[in-house]
């Protein structure tokens, strides 16, 4: 449940005056998280602590986990979505998707791995197995001298050292309604519950009205809602200063807007919180990412064709084997072969869609009675 070496490292960084930030639920919004890190302008010794629920719901959990595992400046603890995903690891060491997890946002994570592996199901399952084993090693809480970090919160009716994953990863109502600090010496940073349910506006960090003896808030809620429909964003709070940094959800991560629709098309107003057919996760979960793969392939072909035409317009063309080959990729290859105009034969040049001639405009000057020069009418030379 705890990692003493990690806690000692974080505490020493705080004692040395280095910055430590806390971030709430990421839920697969990889591009937005990277934009948030860019805003923080991290130094080598700074650290960012993710409070669980890094996966599910959003469009790119696979690449987000790969980034988290390869970035030493980022520290993670386990959330309830990680706990559900871990149930997919079978006793014999294989991977088989756990259906309750798939119904609660896991299909978008599954789909993102298939997209990352370019449709190779075996590679996708192997990558999920390795990543989920890593998730299983994450601590469920971090306890330092003056702060506690946990995904969901604590049950105020139980001793702090007696609480397990059921409380630390899932608790809501009992934790939100308690009237005294659960730890009189430490501020609790947590995610799991969006701050709109804690009485704060969407996109805002929630600070407890209760204060500790030193004036710090008893708790800080950090799940500001990466897909809250009103003000979607991610937030990071500096543990030492309590200042927050907000990064709005990037357009490429706003899957909820692409599937959402108004209550009534004739009336203007807020959009529904849930999308069509009660959809609550990114479209990469549709058909386990196969639709996303098909869309990516179409976008690649369109971009390649556009680039081919632009190159031909400036004098770089492609060898043609038949009349329609200039409109498609050469058979058996994923790349275009570029030939400079000077090296191609006239027959290939005649089939190119680029310019085959040019005009040269020149002005001839003569003496002028006032300034000694005058301009003659413009001459056009066709070549």
Is residue 335 in some structural domain? no
Residue 338 confidence (pLDDT): 44
- What is the extent of the structural domain holding 175? 4-289
Concatenated DSSP letters of 181-250: -SSTT-EEEEEEEEGGGGTSPTT--EE-S-B-TTS-BSEEEEE--TT-SSS-EEEEEETTT--EEEEEPP
Is residue 373 in some structural domain? no
Is residue 11 in some structural domain? yes
Position 341 confidence tier, pLDDT thresholds 50, 70, 90:
very low
CA distances to 152, 155, 231, 244, 380 from 180, rounded to whole Å, are 17, 12, 30, 24, 88
Is residue 268 in some structural domain? yes
Residue 345 confidence (pLDDT): 45
Is residue 329 in some structural domain? no
Distance CA 61, CA 282 (A): 11
Position 323 confidence tier, pLDDT thresholds 50, 70, 90:
very low
Which range has highest mean pLDDT (247-251, 325-329, 368-372)?
A: 247-251
User: CATH number of the domain that 253 lies in?
Assistant: 3.60.21.10
Number of domains into which the chain is organized? 1
Rounded mean pLDDT of the chain? 84
Q: In percent, how much of the chain has pLDDT > 70?
A: 78
Residue 305 confidence (pLDDT): 84
Residue 264 confidence (pLDDT): 54
Position 328 confidence tier, pLDDT thresholds 50, 70, 90:
very low
Is residue 343 in some structural domain? no
Query: What is the mean predicted confidence (pLDDT) over 76-98?
Result: 95
Is residue 336 in some structural domain? no
Query: What is the mean predicted confidence (pLDDT) over 44-54?
Result: 97
Is residue 271 in some structural domain? yes
């Amino acid at each position: 449940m705890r990692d003493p070496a990690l806690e000692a490292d974080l505490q020493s960084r705080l004692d040395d005056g280095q910055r430590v930030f806390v971030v709430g639920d990421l839920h697969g919004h990889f591009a937005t998280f990277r934009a948030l890190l860019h805003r923080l302008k991290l130094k080598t010794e700074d650290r960012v602590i993710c409070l669980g629920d890094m996966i599910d719901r959003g469009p790119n959990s696979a690449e987000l986990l790969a980034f988290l595992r390869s970035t030493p400046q980022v520290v993670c603890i386990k959330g309830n979505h990680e706990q559900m995903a871990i149930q997919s690891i079978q006793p014999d060491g294989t991977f088989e998707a756990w259906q309750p997890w798939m119904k609660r946002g896991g299909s978008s994570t599954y789909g993102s791995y298939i997209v990352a592996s370019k449709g190779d199901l075996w590679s996708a399952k192997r990558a999920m197995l390795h990543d989920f084993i890593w998730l299983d090693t994450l601590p469920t809480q971090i306890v330092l001298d003056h702060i506690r970090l946990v995904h969901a919160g604590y049950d105020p009716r139980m001793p702090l050292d007696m609480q397990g994953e059921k409380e630390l990863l899932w608790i809501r109502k009992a934790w939100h309604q308690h009237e005294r600090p659960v730890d009189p010496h430490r501020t609790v940073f947590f995610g799991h519950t969006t701050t709109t349910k804690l009485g704060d506006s969407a996109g805002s960090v929630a600070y407890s009205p209760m204060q500790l003896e030193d004036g710090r808030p008893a708790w800080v809620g950090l799940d500001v809602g990466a897909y809250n429909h009103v003000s979607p964003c991610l937030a990071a709070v500096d543990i030492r200063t309590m200042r927050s940094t907000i990064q709005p959800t990037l357009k490429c991560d706003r899957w909820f807007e692409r599937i959402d629709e108004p209550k009534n098309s004739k009336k203007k107003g807020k959009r529904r919180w849930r999308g069509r057919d009660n959809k609550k996760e990114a479209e990469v979960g549709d058909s386990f990412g196969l639709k996303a793969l098909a869309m990516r392939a179409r976008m690649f072909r369109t971009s390649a064709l556009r680039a081919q035409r632009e190159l031909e317009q400036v004098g770089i063309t492609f060898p043609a084997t038949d009349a329609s080959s200039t409109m498609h990729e050469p058979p058996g290859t994923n790349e275009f072969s570029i030939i400079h105009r000077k090296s191609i034969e006239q027959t290939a040049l005649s089939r190119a869609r680029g310019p085959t001639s040019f005009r040269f405009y020149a002005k001839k000057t003569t003496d002028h009675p006032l300034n000694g020069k005058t301009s003659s009418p413009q001459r056009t030379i066709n070549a």
